[in-house]
Structure 1
Amino acid sequence: MDDISTGTLTSLLVLLIVISGYFSGSETGMMSLNRYRLRHLAKQGHKGAKRVEKLLSRPDRLIGLILIGNNLVNILASAIATILGMRLFGDLGVAIATGGLTMVVLVFAEVTPKTLAALYPERVSYASSFVLSFLMRLLYPLVWTVNGITNGFLKLLGLATSHNGKDNLSSEELRTVVNEAGGLIPRLHQNMLISILELEEVTVNDIMVPRNEITGINVNDDWKAIMRQLTHAPHGRMVLYRDNIDEVVGMLRVREAYRIMVENEFNKENLLRAADEIYFIPESTPLNVQLLKFQRNKERIGLIVDEYGDIIGLVTLEDILEEIVGEFTTSVSPSLAEEITPLPDGSYLIEGSANIRDLNKSLNWSLPTDGPRTLNGLVLEHLEDIPDSKMSIEINGHQMEITEIADNMVKQIKVLPVLKKNKRE
């Protein structure tokens, strides 16, 4: 290179540093892309996304190509910088060239381009894909050879080198993606998607109507009592039983009972004949499983039984759908808003029948949900006794005052605001 002028060598060195920055930025940009957005754009026909997706289908070859180009450029730049240093500073120029080139490459060929590529990965990747696709075809034999040697060495170490091209997300990761969607997905839709993901973590026990609240008709009652219950039926279906809820005989559609009345054939025999068979659900069945079972069996309502076959509650298709979209305005059960009364001091007066999961979701609390499903049950479990007078307790950092007790139940509880602990200086 003695015949090449210093100015030419300097210009060539600058060009090599720019090319090195290109390879460094391309590598960071390609690896920083959102793969799901890339896949979506490729399916929509975006040409740049298609090129990048093709390159990323074999990341080992892409990285091999970039590193081959980057190392060739950096080695050549180092040689030119050494020649320039010796021309300008003599033997001391080798040390000066090494230190100067290291700083220049670090700033202009590494940190700066990689930072820009990390901030704008799509712009960098789509633009650089033109050159990288061309270089991949041009240098394919060299890239194939280098990757063959590398993959062979990794196999000797017992490491897998295959890539199935699938980036599957777990439910937790998908939940994070939905939460971080921001304004791209309306908040209401985000809540619905999160609720769908949480169906597998919630069981029918958590949302069931407890046994003591099941509305049913005792077919052994007199006709006036049966007629009165049908006339004032709060639901479209009623459980028919004999004396005890464990002795269920069928599930009656109220409109079917009205039809029998209109046809003047209303008697116990026809009433029982019109009833559908009871659909039983094992306790602790996840909601996502039960939703599919309702669909498969064409059912809308079922009675929940424990391991001994005793009825412990009732769940409907609407109850599961409410877990996804929120409470329906047609529900006859008290809503959470009706069970909570905010007080001026920031505390809440809450009915003991309030659902713990609903309280946690609505008020952003952290009451335990792995035990009782109602606030009353949680307090009784904590006390291990039924209180006979008003008292104060603390559960998971929440100060509670029992304000009303009746029928062996805690009817009303005042929950004080959570005080934030002062940070130590």
Structure 2
Amino acid sequence: MDSIPLSTLFITLFILLILSAYFSSSETGLLSLNRYRMRYLAEKGHKGAKKTETLLKKTDKLLSLILICNNLVNISASAIATIIGMRLYGDMGVAIATGVLTFVMLVFSEIYPKTIAAIYPEKVAFTSSHLLILLMKLFSPLVFFMNIIIQGLIKITGLKTETKAHSISPEELRAIVNESGKFIPSAHQKMLLSILDLEEVTVDDIMVPRNDISGIDIDDDWKAIMRQLNHAPHGRVVLYKGDMEQNVLGMLRVREAYRLMMDKNEFTKEMLIRAVDEIYYIPEGTPLTAQLLNFRHRKERIGLVVDEYGDIKGLVTLEDILEEIVGEFTTSTTPSINEEITKQSDGSMIIDGSANIRDINKMLNWHLNTDEARTFNGLILEYLEEIPQEGTVCEIEGLQITILEVSENMVKQAKVVKL
């Protein structure tokens, strides 16, 4: 070593520091990389992404390679720095070289390159992958030998090495969508989040309640039947006789009824009854994800929700489920949530009792309990456990509620102040 010029030692030390910075930044860049974006770029044919994906498939070998190379470089740099220090300052040079090299390596070979790699993981990882692939082939015997030793130590210490395949949970996916920022428009973010929420929502949450189902009573006079056909909110309506609970005849296609009226000179109620389709019944509590698939499988667009006793609870359409994803886009005779909530100048709100609690929570960013009651009226009745009188004031989940109108054993309107 004494015959090697100082200039050569300084150049060698400089190269070793650069290599140390390279291995440090490569480790941080590879481990900080967004693997889903990497996989996407690899599928698009990005060479760096393909090589990086190959390296990350065997993370244990990759880390072993980086650590072996980095330690070899750092130890070599330390040895050369010691020689330089001794040549320049004698025995005192060992301490000087140790202090200076520690500072230089921390700043320029560790902290700075790792910070850059954390900020630009793709650029660092994809660029370094080209050299790491070659080094992996070159050092494969040493890496293999090191891994055997490590596996032996793991078995001796009794540690478990079984790891589950990395998969993203719905909560993680929801966080990714929320943090997507400018990459996904806000409208698309809302749609994606709504799709994730479908699993937690059931048909009970979005159905038209039994009392609000618009059907046609075949016992009505002919003019009333024609008027209801002309103002039908959906392409199919429930046809019943006398009482919808007791005697449902079927689901009538409004377009088919019009066709029969055009083809026949005399259109009778019997012909209307013969034109109905079989009712499609949906068990209560069915998740929207399952019901969406059921609609597609059965080629249906509308169904009646029934409880365990077969009693009708409400009506659900395919459009209702789609509106949970994209928002309201169909015309309907039922009022929208914007019509059911009226904001007052004093900061209070007038809320209809028929308003759906989930819609209230979405619109006002509240967190009212939806486990039992589905409507605002149901929430009030569940809390009071009786039909309230007009003017009754109560406090429910941080809301001061004043009953304004009660009719037909239901709270029709209430004034709400958020405390």
Residue of structure 1 equivalent to 2:19:
19
1:77 offset after TM fit, Å?
1.5
1:360 & 1:83 partners in 2: Cα distance? Answer: 71
| Contact 2:233/2:331, CA 8 A, preserved across alignment | no
**What is the 5 A alignment of 1:145-164?**
145-157=145-157, 159=159
Structure 1 CA distance, aligned partners of 2:155 and 2:248? 65
CA–CA separation in structure 2 for the residues paired with 1:269 and 1:329 = 32
Once the two structures are TM-superposed, the CA of residue 208 in structure 1 deviates from its matched residue by 0.4
Matched ranges for 1:239-278 at <5 A: 239-246=238-245, 247-262=247-262, 263-278=264-279
Which residue type is aligned with residue 187 of structure 2?
L
Instruction: Give the aligned partner of residue 54 of structure 2.
Output: 54
> For the structure 1 residues 155 and 244, does the alpha-carbon distance in structure 2 shift closer, same or farther, using more than 3 Å as the test?
farther
Deviations 1:351-389 (A, max 9, x none): 111111111112211111222111111111122222113
Tell me what 1:297 maps to: 298
Match of 2:390, SS state, is coil
Structure 1 residues 144 and 298: CA distance shift in structure 2, 3 A: same
Which residue of structure 2 lines up, in the alignment, with residue 169 of structure 1?
A: 168
The amino acid of 1:34's aligned partner reads N
Quote the Cα distance in structure 2 between the aligned partners of 1:198 and 1:158.
42
Within 5 Å, which residues of 2 pair with 1:188-207? 188-207=187-206
Query: Partner of 2:372 in structure 1?
Result: 371
Alpha-carbon distance in structure 2 between the residues aligned to 1:396 and 1:11: 72
In the alignment, is the contact (CA less than 8 A) between 2:398 and 2:418 conserved in 1? Answer: no
SS of 1:245 mapped into structure 2: coil
TM-score (norm 2): 0.93
Kindly state the Cα deviation for residue 228 of structure 1 after the two structures are TM-superposed: 4.1
Query: Bigger shift: 101-110 or 313-322?
Result: 101-110
Determine the C-alpha separation between the residues in 1 that align with 2:87 and 2:231: 104
**Aligned equivalent of 1:82:** 82
1:6-405 equivalences in 2 (<5 Å): 6-157=6-157, 159=159, 167-246=166-245, 247-262=247-262, 263-405=264-406
Identity of aligned residues (%): 64
1:155 CA displacement: 4.5
**Contact preservation (8 Å) 2:52, 2:125:** yes
Deviation of 1:131 (Å) = 1.6
Q: Is the 8 A contact 2:233 2:332 kept in 1?
A: no
Question: Is the partner of 1:373 in helix, strand or coil?
Answer: coil
Q: Counterparts of 2:127 and 2:192 in 1: how far apart (Å)?
A: 35
Task: Report which stretch shifted further, 126-135 or 9-18.
Answer: 9-18
Task: Label 1:121 to 1:228 Cα distance change in 2 as closer, same or farther (>3 A).
Answer: closer
Deviation at 1:216, TM superposition (A): 1.5
Shift of residue 272 of structure 1? 1.7
Match for residue 422 of structure 1?
none
- Cα distance, 1:400 vs. partner? 2.8
CA spacing shift, 1:93–1:368, aligned 2, 3 Å: same
Q: Secondary structure at the match of 2:91?
A: helix
- Deviation digits for residues 50-105 of structure 1 (CA, Å, limit 9, x no counterpart): 12111112111111111111000111122222233333444343333333322222
- Residues 250, 277 of structure 2: 8 Å contact kept: yes
Q: Deviations over 1:292-342 (max 9, x none)?
A: 000000111111111111111111111111111111242221111111222
Q: How far apart in 1 are the matches of 2:390 and 2:213?
A: 29
- Distance, in Å, in 2 between the alignment partners of 1:155 and 1:331 is 67
Identify the residue that residue 421 of structure 1 maps to in structure 2: none
Per-residue deviation, 1:347: 2.6
1:416 aligned counterpart, secondary structure? strand
Whole-angstrom distance in 1 between the partners of 2:37 and 2:343: 44
SS at match of 2:332: coil
Amino acid of the structure 2 residue aligned with 1:242:
K
Aligned-partner Cα distance in 1 for 2:138–2:231: 82
Structure 2: stretches of 5+ with no match in the other structure: none
- TM-score under structure 1 length normalisation: 0.92
Amino acid at match of 2:396: I
Residue type of the alignment partner of 1:241: Y
Shift, 1:158, TM fit: 5.1
Give the counterpart letter for 1:302 in structure 2. Answer: G
- Matching residue of 1:406: 407
Q: Structure 2 vs 1, CA of residues 279 and 57 (structure 1 numbering), >3 Å: closer, same or farther? A: same
CA RMSD of aligned residues (A): 2.1
